[in-house]
Structure 1
C-alpha cells in the first residue's frame, strides 16, 4: 500500500503564485492543488483531504481570514499559512487566534515556506 503525501492547498488570486507554488510543494514532498478563490476551494471537494492551506489574506470575494472562519464554523480545523503582498506587518489578522502557524510576506523564501509548513503540520 502506497502512502499518499499530505495535501497542501494553495488559495490565491495571483496566477503566478498558483502556478509556481504547487511545483515547489511537490519538490518538498507534498501533494498540492491550487485554487483561485476561497469559494472555488470550498466547492472543490478537496476540503476534507487538505492537511494545510497556504492562504492569501486579501482576495476578491471571501478573504483568507473569512475562509478560515468559515472552515472553523464547519468544524474543519485545517492549519493555515497566510501569505500576503501587503508590506505592512500590522495587516495580518490575529493569526494565532485563527489557529495559524505563520504569516509570510511576498516574496518569501523557499526555506521560509518550508519552515512555516513544518510548523503548521508539526513535522520535522
Structure 2
C-alpha cells in the first residue's frame, strides 16, 4: 500500500464478492483492504484512515447501515451494496448518512463512479 493512492475498505461477507471487489479496486488504482464483517474491520484498528467504505447491507452481526451510523461524524463516505434493494433498505441507508447504493449484480464502472463521487465528497471542506 502506498500513501498516494486512496484507501478503499470493503466490508463484505461473501468471499467471492469480496475477492472480486478487491481485484477490481486494485487494478483501478486504489489501495484496498477487505473484511468479512464490521467487527473484523473495527478489530483491525487501522493506522491509516480509509477514503471510502464499500459496505454490504446484509452483514453478519451489525448491518452495513447500522455499523456506518455507529461510526459517528468522523467516518469516511460509504458506498452501500446489496442484493436485496427495498424502500426499507434505502431508508436505513439514508438514516445512517449514506448517499450511494448499488444493487447486486452491478456494473464495475457504476461502483468505480460511486466510489469516485464518495471520495470527492469526503475530500470537501
Same fold, TM exceeding 0.5? yes
Contact 2:79 2:102 in 1 (8 A): yes
TM-aligned CA distance change 1:14 to 1:47, over 3 Å? farther
Corresponding residue of 2:107 = 109
Aligned to 1:17: 17
Greater fraction helix: 2
After the TM superposition, which residues 33-52 of structure 1 pair with which residues of structure 2 at under 5 Å, given as runs?
A: 33-46=33-46, 48-52=48-52
Q: Any gaps of 5 or more consecutive residues in structure 2? A: none
d(CA) in 2 for partners of 1:69, 1:41:
15
| Deviant stretches of 4+, over 4 Å | none
Query: What CA distance in whole angstroms lies between the structure 2 residues aligned with 1:105 and 1:89?
Result: 13
Using the TM superposition, give the Cα deviation of residue 3 of structure 1 relative to its aligned residue in structure 2, in angstroms.
4.8
Change (3 A) 1:61 1:116: same
Give the corresponding residue for 2:81.
Answer: 83
Q: Deviations over 1:48-103 (max 9, x none)?
A: 5211000011111111011111111xx42210000001043542334344332310
1:98 equivalent to 2:96? Answer yes
User: 2: distance between equivalents of 1:37 and 1:21?
Assistant: 15
Give, in angstroms, the shift of residue 15 of structure 1: 0.8
- Corresponding position: 1:57 with 2:57: yes
Query: What are the ranges of 5 or more consecutive residues in structure 1 without an aligned counterpart?
Result: none
Q: Distance in 2 between matches of 1:122 and 1:80?
A: 11
SS of 1:58's equivalent? coil
Residue pair 1:101, 1:119 contacting (<8 A) in 2 also: no
